[in-house]
Amino acid sequence: MASANSASKKRSIGAPSQQQGSVSCALGKEVSLDAVPLYLEETEWHGEEKGTRLRCKHGLCLARRVAWEGEDTGRRFLGCPLEEDEDQCKFVQWVDPEWDSRVKKTLAGMWDMVDRGVKREAIIQADMFKAFALKDRLEKEKNDELAHKNALLDMREAQLKELLYKSASEANELCSPSS
């Protein structure tokens, strides 16, 4: 069960787990990125990391996260516990080593397929909105044309009634005896 939170970079999957291991201080070196990768909070690797004295640039305990984008998909890291809209700093410390080149290539291919699918979906959605707009425009034109034709018919009907009334009046005058 996956739920995405578009206001932040956090994504959650699964139900909370009782098991939480700790990470030693010798995790690797801090990496300062232009942006923190999109991430998951998964059942076996989530919450606050209490097994280290490391802190983010705000002095807060680090949050356990799993990368969810690009070649780092699936790699665990520690990062600022704040959400992006809460002034999240760029502190990232990778827990897992980089994937080997074959896995990176596979992940890059997978994300390329996802990106193409997202682009196709956007094109299809845009085409669908255009089709609905065209349908609405054609319906309006049809309704306007029907209203115009109905107005013309109503006018013609009124003319015919007036002509019929005049003809009946004239016939009555001709048939009625003069006094």
- Indicate the pTM of the whole model: 0.53
d(CA 161, CA 158): 5
- Calculated CA dihedral for residues 14, 16, 18, 24, nearest 10 degrees: 90
Q: What is the pLDDT of residue 48?
A: 87
The pLDDT of residue 163:
92
Residue 170, both tokens: 């004239």
Q: Write out pLDDT tens, residues 31-40.
A: 545 567 788 7
What is the distance of C-alpha 139 from the center of its chain? 29
pLDDT (tens digit, 9 = 90+) per residue, 93-142? 999 999 999 999 999 999 999 999 999 999 999 999 999 999 999 999 99
Please give the pLDDT value at position 33: 53
Mean pLDDT on 40-61: 86
Q: What is the mean pLDDT of residues 7-13?
A: 38
Could you state, in order of their start, the residue ranges of all structural domains in the chain?
2-99, 100-174
Q: In the prediction, which pLDDT does 130 show?
A: 96
What average pLDDT does range 138-152 have in this prediction? Answer: 96
- Determine the 3-state secondary structure of 2 from DSSP: strand
Structure tokens at 107: 């992940």
**pLDDT tens per residue, range 53-88:** 899 999 999 999 999 888 999 999 999 999 877 888
pLDDT at 14: 33
Query: Do the bridges between strand 63-67 and strand 76-79 make them parallel or antiparallel, or are there none, so unpaired?
Result: antiparallel
Q: Of residues 47 and 119, which shows the higher confidence score?
A: 119
pLDDT of 90 = 87
What integer pLDDT is reported at residue 63 of this predicted model? 93
